Amino acid sequence: MSHPSESLREDVVVVGAGAAGLTFALHLADHVPVTLLAKTPAEASSTYWAQGGISAVLDEQDHFDIHAADTLAAGAGLCDPRAVRYTVERAPEMVRWLAELGMPFTRLRSGAYHLTREGGHSMRRVIHAADATGRALHQTLLARAEAHPNIRILHDRVAVDLISAARLGRRPDRCLGLYALNRATGRVECIAARAVVLATGGANRVYLYSSNPDGATGDGIAIAWRAGCRVANLEFIQFHPTCLYHPEARTFLISEAVRGEGGRLLLPNGERFMPRYDPRAELAPRDIVARAIDHEMKRLGIDYVLLDISHKPAAFIRRHFPTIYARTRELGFDMTREPLPVVPAAHYTCGGVLTDLAGRTDLPGLYAIGETACTGLHGANRMASNSLLECLVFGRAAAEDLRGRLGELPPPPPLPPWDESEVTDSDEEVVVAHNWHELRLTMWNYVGIVRSDKRLARAAARIRLLKREINEYYRNFRVSRDLLELRNLATVAELIVRSARRRKESRGLHFNIDHPEPAPRARPSVLRPPPPRPYRRHRSGVFTQEALRV
C-alpha cells in the first residue's frame, strides 16, 4: 500500500537546533518565519555538552592581532586569514549580545568577567559559565527561541536528503527543500522552503571513541555532498586529549580549562611527560597533546594517562569545575585529592561543507554553519573555544546575508512526495548495528590519531564494501534514524579517508608516519562531488521511495 509523505511549506528551514542554528534563527526571525528541525533533545546536542567557553578579546592586555595570531598558529598554515580576522573581530560583540540575552557568565567579585586560558591561547580570553558553558549557552538561546512568535521548532526530525532543482531535472539549480523523517509518525515529510540552513554539527561519532553525543553523525555534510556541494579539509579530525576513562562515562570530557588552570598530565608512576614533547607542556595545542598521550599509551601498553590538579586548593577546584567535580565524584573519583584517568577521543570535525564568510554553499539557497561548515577558521587544527565562537559569528552572518537575499529566492514549486510503496519494514536490524560498529572500528583503527598509507588503503577498501551493503539495505527498507545516520556516517567516513589519502604530508591534526614532515606550502584539500543525478520517476509516473534514493 502506498503511503505518500506529508508536505510542509516553510520560508526558511534550519536543520539543527544547537548554538549555530539557534543563533541564526534569533537573528532572522524578526524579519521572516524560521522553522528549526531538531533531531535530538536539547541535552543531546554537542553545544549542550561543551564545557570550556567562548574565546574573545575582552581584556585590555589582549588584542585582535594576538587572538588571530594564536588561531593561525594552531591552524598550522591552513587557516584562511580573512576568516580568522572576520571571526575574532566580531567575538566581543557576540559576547555582548549573549550578555543582553541573559547568559550567566562567570564573574569575579569585582563584577568583571572571569577569563580563563586554554591550550594554544597566549592570553586569558576564554569567557565561560563555570565549566558548563555549552549548557548555559544552549539554555539561553533555546529559551529565547521558544518564546519568539516567528520561530517554530519541530522535534524528532531526521534529515534524509535535500531537494534541488537539478534533482528534478530543472535549471538553474537551487535548493528547494528537503525530506525529513518524522520519528513520531515514522513517515518522511516533504518540506519545501525558500532556503535551507544546515547546522547539524560534526561527524565525530564516525569513530569508536568520541566525546560527542550520539547525534553527531555528519548528517549535514553527507546530504550537502549528495546535493553537489564541495567539502574541504575533512582529514582534520580533532581528538580531545582528555576524555574520562570510565565505562559509564565514555563521552565525558575533562575540560581544557583544567589544564589551563594548572592541571598536569602524568604517567602511572607520577612522571610528568608533556614538557618532553613541547615547551608549552600541557598548554600546547590539542593535536600535540593528543599525540603525546597516544604515544605514551602505546609505548607503555597502558589504557590511560592521569590528569592531576589536586595540588590546587579544593575550594578552587570545586568553584572552577563544579560540573566535572560532581560527575567524577558520582563515578568514584575525588579530583581534589587524586588524578583522573583520561584518554583521547574524537571531538571536533575541523573540515566540512565549503562555505564563504556568509555561510553560503555551492548550492544557491543552501547555507551551512557551525561545525558542519568549513569556513577556513580552523585550518589544520581548531584552537580551544573557537568553536562556539564560530557558531555565533557565522550564525549571525548567514542570517544577515539571507535576509538581504530573500527577494532572490521565490517560493519553491510543488515537490514530489516521498512514497514508500515499494519498500518493506526491515526484519534484519542487526545488519545496521553490525555495520555501524564495523565502520566506527575501522575508522578508529586505521584513520585515528596516527595514520599510514597502508592503514588508509585498508580503511578505504573496507568502507567501500560497507557502503555497498548499506546502500543495498537503504534501497529496500523503510528508513529509520539508525539507518539514515549509518548512511551518513559511511559517506563522511569515505570523504575523510579520501581527503587523508590525498594529503602526502603531516600537518596539524593529520599525522601520517609515511609522510612525517609538512609540505613546503599548505594547501586545503577540497573534494568536488559528481553532479547530482536527477530523481528517477517510477513507471507509474510518480516518485517512489526507491526512485528517490539516488
Supply the CATH number for residue 89's domain. Answer: 3.50.50.60
Q: Give the span between the Cα atoms of 131 and 125, in whole angstroms.
A: 15
Task: For residues 333 and 468, state if they share a domain.
Answer: no
Task: For residues 227 and 258, state if they share a domain.
Answer: no
Residue in 172, 170, 286 with CA at minimum distance from that of residue 237: 286
Residue 166 confidence (pLDDT):
93
Task: For residues 363 and 339, state if they share a domain.
Answer: no
Range from 117-131, 244-258, 300-314 that averages highest in pLDDT: 300-314
Confidence bin at 508 (pLDDT 50/70/90): very high
In a domain, 335, yes or no: yes
In a domain, 421, yes or no: no
Quick one: cell of 493?
Answer: 567516513
Residue in 419, 479, 411 with CA at minimum distance from that of residue 192: 411
Task: For residues 196 and 98, state if they share a domain.
Answer: yes
CATH label of the domain that carries residue 328: 3.90.700.10
- Per-residue pLDDT at 1 exceeds 80: no
In a domain, 87, yes or no: yes
Task: For residues 146 and 264, state if they share a domain.
Answer: no
- Per-residue pLDDT at 379 exceeds 70: yes
Residues 6+ apart with CB under 8 A from 370: 16, 18, 19, 20, 21, 199, 201, 390, 391, 394, 395
In a domain, 1, yes or no: no
Residue in 440, 450, 375 with CA at minimum distance from that of residue 218: 440
Residue 253 confidence (pLDDT):
87
Q: Give the span between the Cα atoms of 246 and 32, in whole angstroms.
A: 47
Residue 373 confidence (pLDDT):
98
Task: For residues 382 and 508, state if they share a domain.
Answer: no
Confidence bin at 525 (pLDDT 50/70/90): very high
In a domain, 540, yes or no: no
For residue 110, the enclosing domain spans 7-236+350-408
- Per-residue pLDDT at 2 exceeds 60: no
Residue in 141, 161, 134 with CA at minimum distance from that of residue 487: 161
Residue 4 confidence (pLDDT):
52
> How many structural domains compose the chain?
3
Residues annotated as catalytic (active site), given as ranges? 286
pLDDT one-digit tens code per residue, 348-360: 999 999 999 999 9
Task: For residues 89 and 39, state if they share a domain.
Answer: yes
Task: For residues 32 and 177, state if they share a domain.
Answer: yes
Task: For residues 339 and 360, state if they share a domain.
Answer: no
Average pLDDT over residues 30-34: 97
Threshold 0.75, pTM exceeds:
yes
Task: For residues 215 and 312, state if they share a domain.
Answer: no
Quick one: cell of 217?
Answer: 553523525
In a domain, 223, yes or no: yes
Last residue of a domain, one of 305, 320, 345: 345
Task: For residues 438 and 501, state if they share a domain.
Answer: yes
Average pLDDT over residues 125-136: 94
- Per-residue pLDDT at 494 exceeds 60: yes
pLDDT one-digit tens code per residue, 141-160: 999 999 999 999 999 999 99
Q: Give the span between the Cα atoms of 317 and 334, in whole angstroms.
A: 10
Contact 233, 525 (CB under 8 A): yes
Confidence bin at 50 (pLDDT 50/70/90): confident
Is the pLDDT higher at 543 or at 17? 17
User: Dihedral angle at the C-alpha atoms of 274, 278, 282, 283, nearest 10 degrees?
Assistant: 180
Task: For residues 160 and 47, state if they share a domain.
Answer: yes
Residue 420 confidence (pLDDT):
81
Residue 538 confidence (pLDDT):
53
Contact 507, 454 (CB under 8 A): no
Average pLDDT over residues 48-67: 93
In a domain, 469, yes or no: yes
In a domain, 423, yes or no: no
pLDDT one-digit tens code per residue, 310-349: 999 999 999 999 999 999 999 999 999 999 999 999 999 9
Average pLDDT over residues 8-36: 97
Determine what percent of the chain is predicted with pLDDT higher than 90: 78
